Amino acid sequence: MRTFESFIGNFDGKAWSDDIYDKLISAIRDDRAALPEIAHWILATPGRHFNLLADLIPHLTEAEFAALAEDAVQRLANDEDSDDVRKCIERASLQIPQALRPHLALLGEQDDLYRSAFAWRASDQGGADALAATVAEECEQADCERLMETGNAAAIRRAYERLSPDGRADLAYWALMHDVELVDGEARPLTLGRCHHLQFDTERPSYAKWLDELRSLHPTLRLRSAEDVTGLAGGKTEAPCGLCGGEVAVFLRLREAPPGFAVSARPLTLAVCVACLTDYAGGPIVPLFYDHRSGEPVTLNPTGQQRTPEIRWLPMPVSRMRASPTPPRWEVQDDGLANSRENLHRLGGRPTWVQEADYPNCPTCTRRMPFLAQLSCELPVGPGADSGLNEDGLTYFFWCDACQLSAVTEQYT
């Protein structure tokens, strides 16, 4: 029986059979050509399809996904709205904004489409100009967010110059939520270099086999190119934590940042005292700051006070890791939509905020620190061990190159 027929044969109009994820995984592995047909069928067939469409989309080619997104947009326009239609458009806004360019006017009328502002990265000059005029008239959140995502500095400046002081403050706030610092109307992205995905030699398994398999098949965990930069993860820094005396865990050690990064540290070592970062009982210290001037991160402790965290964590064993340049499709990710399936270990590019964007200021020069890297909890740890990083969130690293300082924060659901 063809994969498509065996797939829909499981659907009785109410529920899928228990082995539907096994079938999806074998289709991804052995019959990828069946996936577009299944995806269009899910869009066209009313019913509850759980997360299947979302789990299938990463395995469509960009052209196949663009055709599916077109199908979804037409259904939205024809009042055939459904969860699956929305899931498809939300993911297209993140992964293939260019496919939505002809439909930005239609999407603009849908204020409740999650993350759809990212589709405006594909906006043309006319679209950015029109948005700037709208924002200058009435500084609404959705339009401000879309204007920021156009990345059109001239249009952003034009809107800024026509706004009242209150409007300018609102626009600057929404700029920050979209990883842009707005200073006197000038838009500065809070990024340090091109997005790379970090891949570790081993991954900590989760609890469900099908979820581990879906994750291991995800394109963001299978990146490899001639431009990959290799390094080490694990171990601890020479100096103990200056706040608690415990071990400062190293999560990434590269000879230097990948080419094009505004990061001069050599080596580039990202480390944090997990006990101090996550000591919820004693009140975590966020952000934690590390001085990299000696080449090794050293904890800043401006007050000189010592603390005793309730739990201490063993650093991960030393293993190899790679930083691979991220294809455009995965440059923007969303923690909720990733749903534990995607690789969210990222270096450079924009962060994946779990909550509102929150950029720390450098304690030395007071400037806002751009984003450097983020880690999720799926890291190589010893048997029975745990990295200690928050399982329901992400850990973020920021960098001030002038002062050679890193800052570490976390956000969780």
The residues binding Zn ion (CB under 5 A) are: 241, 243-244, 246, 273, 275-276, 362, 364-365, 400, 402-403
Beta carbons within 10 angstroms of residue 71's beta carbon: 16
Min CB(282)–Zn ion separation in Å: 10
In sequence order, the 6+-apart residues with CB closer than 8 A to the CB of 43 are 53, 68, 71, 72, 75, 82, 84, 85, 88
| Inter-residue contact 237 to 248 (CB < 8 Å) | yes
Pairing outcome for strands 196-200 and 393-400? unpaired
Residue 310 or 392 having the CB closest to Zn ion? 310
Q: Closest separation between CB of residue 273 and Zn ion, Å? A: 3
Considering the complex, state which of residue 327 and residue 363 has its C-beta at the smaller distance from Zn ion. 363
Among candidate residues 313, 307, 246, the one with its CA nearest the CA of residue 281: 307
- The C-alpha torsion from 302 through 306 and 307 to 313, rounded to 10°, is 90
Q: Which C-beta is closer to Zn ion: that of 334 or that of 401?
A: 401
Complex with Zn ion: residue 96 or 257, whichever CB lies closer: 257
Taking the complex as a whole, the smallest distance from the CB of residue 249 to Zn ion amounts, in Å, to 10
Residue 97 or 297 having the CB closest to Zn ion? 297
Backbone angles phi, psi at 158, to 5 degrees: -60, -45
Q: Which two tokens stand for residue 297?
A: 């991160």
Residue number, 223 or 244, with CB nearest to Zn ion:
244
Q: What is the smallest separation between the CB atom of 244 and Zn ion, expressed in angstroms?
A: 3
Q: Find the radius of gyration of the CA atoms of the chain.
A: 23
**Minimum distance from residue 235 beta carbon to Zn ion (Å):** 16
Minimum distance of Zn ion from residue 406's CB (angstroms): 11
Q: Cβ of residue 183: shortest distance to Zn ion, in angstroms? A: 16
Residue keyed to tokens 């799926």: 378
In this complex, which beta carbon is closest to Zn ion, that of residue 187 or of residue 362?
Answer: 362
* Residue given tokens 């029109």 in the structure block: 130
Tokens of 43: 């869009």
d(C-alpha 374, C-alpha 379), whole Å: 12
